[in-house]
Chain A
């Protein structure tokens, strides 16, 4: 027993100490700062400031609306794409090429990806050029600095997460289950709705939760595509730490965002669990 204690301490000691020093301690510092005044006295004023300021509510609302829309759009595009890759594509080289195409964006910086959209969505960008010359719109549309622009950028960045999560779940569905369903008289859509979809739901939920969390906490993409016209919550936090230097208020903002995100994710997880049983 003592020998194994020593082994555990040797193996896990350093990582545990490292995380205590550079993960837990910093988070505790933020938590404590959020509940104190600059003089060190305990206070709830930082949270009251968030609670009673309608500007914060507006920013939160915009942030979570963009997060929810991003998740919905990514699911609506990602599920069919995952289905296509797993169930329709027969030619392995093409599927490999598609998977590589899905993974390359994950391996490039948000900046680079958002930058691509800045070029595409600009006043004289390819998207506007195409839309105008095809006669769909008369004058170039404004994308940059709109929620639509941010939404396009976020969906682009987060789509691969949904596709990979759903694709993995679909690939794991035992084909015998779908055959059993057909054998018992279910037509293809009934089989999808009663067997395949419920079995892919845990993967879909996991992917959707991941997308939602990343969309809500995203900083770079909204910062670049908002052009300063739209503020999301992570920008508020960043401002407090990089230009205002109010660590107490900034801490309260950070903790608020963390708690709200985790709460929403937990609720979504619950709903998903209940549905999949």
Chain B
């Protein structure tokens, strides 16, 4: 009885999760000049239109480069900070890790506004660098959160063994430490990349008509017009996300909810 009720609620919830994604991808294939779901006729014309519009292409490029560079910087910062926090005791260690984690609980609108105000004081506004520093701040916690728990005490003895066998610190890091934290690093970096790639609240303060990311461009557009091109752009991001996730599942495995029953 109860199990049936739970099943029904769950199927409804799963349908609820699936519906908007199906609608978006479906509506982007419509042959009509207005949004229609179910699509009337099938065409990829809207995708063609999107790709023919240089402003979309450049927004996609900006988003991708921004997310990639921000992730790279965040990974470098997070790993070196994690090593300091996990391996050494020093005054200010706890505050440091708390400050590095706190962007997770800060409303992005507040942080975006703060960076805009501060940036206008120091001349860092509406530029790629202005976007970059903000993105690094908000995505660094994702990497730190997954890397820090993997720098365990067991590992320290592996590092000591490596040093004992003559490994210099950098050799030890690349040959011993890095392989051990690889899975945390990869999943943290992916979440970091995605968080940067989909961000609106922070980016919106520092974008211009020429320099814009794809989510911000969509946001500004959707508020005034709705047409199948928008659905095509959205549909493309859904497809990209789905492909990334399936790849993730196949490589590092996403079956986080499987129970270890005896």
- Do A's and B's CB atoms come within 8 Å in the complex? yes
Using CB atoms and an 8 Å cutoff, list the residues of chain A in contact with chain B: 4-5, 7-8, 10-12, 14-16, 18-19, 22-27, 29-30, 33, 77-78, 80-88, 92, 95-96, 98-113, 115-120, 125-126, 156, 159-160, 164, 167-168, 170-171, 175-176, 189, 213, 216-217, 219-220, 223-224, 234, 237-238, 240-242, 247, 250-251, 254-255, 257-258, 261-262, 265
B215 and A109 form a contact (CB under 8 A): yes
User: Smallest CB–CB gap between A80 and chain B, Å?
Assistant: 4
A98 and B14 form a contact (CB under 8 A): yes
A83 and B6 form a contact (CB under 8 A): yes
Whether B209 sits at the interface, judged by CB under 8 Å, is no
Residue of B nearest to A82 (CB): B257
A26 and B117 form a contact (CB under 8 A): yes
User: Smallest CB–CB gap between B14 and chain A, Å?
Assistant: 6
Please measure, in the bound complex, the distance between the C-alpha atom of A108 and the C-alpha atom of B22, giving whole angstroms.
13
Q: Which of B6, B35, B201, B244 contacts A80 (CB 8 A)?
A: B6
A107 and B244 form a contact (CB under 8 A): yes
Please measure, in the bound complex, the distance between the C-alpha atom of A103 and the C-alpha atom of B111, giving whole angstroms.
25
A22 and B107 form a contact (CB under 8 A): no
B260 and A171 form a contact (CB under 8 A): yes
Please measure, in the bound complex, the distance between the C-alpha atom of A103 and the C-alpha atom of B247, giving whole angstroms.
13
B254 and A100 form a contact (CB under 8 A): yes
Q: Which residues of A contact B189 (CB under 8 A)?
A: none
B256 and A22 form a contact (CB under 8 A): no
A81 and B10 form a contact (CB under 8 A): yes
Please measure, in the bound complex, the distance between the C-alpha atom of A100 and the C-alpha atom of B238, giving whole angstroms.
12
A86 and B257 form a contact (CB under 8 A): yes
Write 29 A-B pairs (CB below 8 A) sorted by A numbering.
Answer: A8-B90, A22-B115, A22-B118, A23-B102, A26-B111, A26-B115, A29-B121, A30-B114, A80-B10, A82-B257, A88-B3, A92-B258, A108-B234, A108-B237, A108-B241, A112-B24, A112-B215, A115-B234, A118-B226, A119-B27, A119-B35, A120-B19, A175-B262, A237-B110, A242-B204, A247-B113, A251-B113, A254-B109, A257-B107
Please measure, in the bound complex, the distance between the C-alpha atom of A15 and the C-alpha atom of B222, giving whole angstroms.
37
Whether B157 sits at the interface, judged by CB under 8 Å, is no
User: Smallest CB–CB gap between A39 and chain B, Å?
Assistant: 16
Please measure, in the bound complex, the distance between the C-alpha atom of A112 and the C-alpha atom of B221, giving whole angstroms.
12
Please choose the segment from B48-56, B76-84, B158-166, B177-185 that sits at the chain A interface, where 4 or more of its residues have CB less than 8 A away: B76-84
A224 and B223 form a contact (CB under 8 A): yes
B113 and A15 form a contact (CB under 8 A): no
Please measure, in the bound complex, the distance between the C-alpha atom of A165 and the C-alpha atom of B88, giving whole angstroms.
31
- Count of chain A to chain B residue pairs whose CB atoms are closer than 8 Å in the complex: 278
Please measure, in the bound complex, the distance between the C-alpha atom of A86 and the C-alpha atom of B14, giving whole angstroms.
14
User: Smallest CB–CB gap between A116 and chain B, Å?
Assistant: 3
Please measure, in the bound complex, the distance between the C-alpha atom of A11 and the C-alpha atom of B19, giving whole angstroms.
46
Besides the contacts A95-B257, A247-B117, what 13 more A-B pairs have beta carbons closer than 8 Å?
Answer: A12-B81, A18-B136, A77-B13, A84-B9, A96-B254, A101-B18, A107-B198, A109-B198, A112-B215, A112-B234, A115-B222, A171-B257, A261-B107
Whether B140 sits at the interface, judged by CB under 8 Å, is yes
Whether B145 sits at the interface, judged by CB under 8 Å, is no
Please measure, in the bound complex, the distance between the C-alpha atom of A261 and the C-alpha atom of B255, giving whole angstroms.
32
A11 and B231 form a contact (CB under 8 A): no
B84 and A84 form a contact (CB under 8 A): no
Q: Which of B84, B214, B238, B249 contacts A8 (CB 8 A)?
A: B84
Whether B167 sits at the interface, judged by CB under 8 Å, is no
Please measure, in the bound complex, the distance between the C-alpha atom of A119 and the C-alpha atom of B36, giving whole angstroms.
9
Most chain A CB atoms below 10 A, which of B78, B121, B140, B259: B259
Q: Which of B3, B197, B249 contacts A100 (CB 8 A)?
A: B249
Please measure, in the bound complex, the distance between the C-alpha atom of A159 and the C-alpha atom of B15, giving whole angstroms.
13
A241 and B103 form a contact (CB under 8 A): no
Whether B168 sits at the interface, judged by CB under 8 Å, is no
Most chain B CB atoms below 10 A, which of A99, A108, A159, A164: A108
Q: Which residues of B contact A7 (CB under 8 A)?
A: 84, 88
B10 and A84 form a contact (CB under 8 A): yes
Q: Which residues of A contact B200 (CB under 8 A)?
A: 109-111, 219-220
Please measure, in the bound complex, the distance between the C-alpha atom of A96 and the C-alpha atom of B252, giving whole angstroms.
13
**Residues 75-100 of chain B: 1 if any A CB is under 8 Å from the residue's CB, otherwise 0?**
00110110111001010000010011
